[in-house]
């Protein structure tokens, strides 16, 4: 078994200071310690700057094996689809994950439907076959935000699911959350 944490977005606090939200990572650490398995961190929307910090925090909290899987350098790789492909590449290419048949994916509760669709598509692209379970990060801390993300049809999670179903590319429809390099790529 392995625990996969999808890249944690950055946000601005009440004072406008950019912060890293560790909710997904903390849930992943909790599960990796409980099951005694590897923690795989995917997602590098900001060029991977946060990944080393995530690995350091995970090791400090007792996770023995932390694997970082970068999405890639192309703009289209820095999406949920890119996260899904990076996770399957890690299972395919990293010898430490050889023989792992089950993975627990950690993301925000409102992000699970779109992530499921991304993993389904990535499975065929990367030839991955994995028994996948889901563990959302803390719901109460992001309940209001998550409901707004679901209901915003212009740029929300439901729109992202529709894009997958209709085979449309994943594109940003507003201010990028957790993807600070997106502005540079535009």
SS3 2: strand
Per DSSP, what are the bridge partners of residue 40? 4, 67
DSSP assignment, residue 179?
A: -
Instruction: Identify the sign of the CA torsion 175, 176, 177, 183.
Output: negative
Q: What's the pLDDT at 182?
A: 33
- Amino acid 61: pLDDT: 95
**Domains along the chain?**
2-185 (3.40.50)
- How far, in Å, CA of 69 to CA of 48, rounded? 9
Instruction: Compute how many other C-beta atoms are within 10 angstroms of the C-beta atom of residue 136.
Output: 18
Residue owning tokens 């627990």: 104
Q: In the prediction, which pLDDT does 133 show?
A: 84
What residues of the chain score a pLDDT lower than 50?
173-186
User: Any idea which residue has 């790529």 for tokens?
Assistant: 185
Residue 179: per-residue pLDDT: 41
Query: What does residue 31 show for φ and ψ, rounded to 5 degrees?
Result: -70, -40
pLDDT attached to residue 15: 73
pLDDT at 185: 34
Write the pLDDT tens digit of every residue in 79-90.
788 888 888 888
């Amino acid at each position: 078994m392995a625990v996969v944490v999808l890249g944690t977005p950055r946000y601005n606090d009440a004072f406008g200071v950019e912060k890293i939200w560790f909710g997904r990572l903390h849930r992943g650490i909790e599960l990796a310690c409980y099951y005694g398995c590897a923690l795989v961190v995917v997602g590098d929307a900001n060029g991977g700057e946060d990944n080393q910090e995530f690995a350091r925090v995970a090791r400090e909290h007792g996770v023995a094996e932390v694997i970082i899987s970068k999405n890639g350098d192309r703009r289209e790789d820095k999406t949920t689809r890119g996260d899904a492909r990076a996770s399957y590449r890690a299972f395919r290419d990293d010898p430490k994950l050889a023989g792992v048949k089950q993975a627990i994916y950690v993301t925000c509760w409102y992000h699970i439907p779109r992530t499921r669709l991304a993993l389904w598509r990535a499975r065929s692209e990367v030839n991955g076959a994995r028994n996948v379970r889901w563990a959302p990060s803390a719901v109460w801390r992001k309940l209001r935000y998550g409901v707004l993300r679901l209901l915003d049809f212009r740029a929300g999670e439901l729109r992202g699911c529709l894009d997958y179903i209709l085979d449309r590319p994943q594109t940003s429809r507003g201010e990028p959350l957790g993807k600070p390099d997106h502005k540079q790529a535009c």
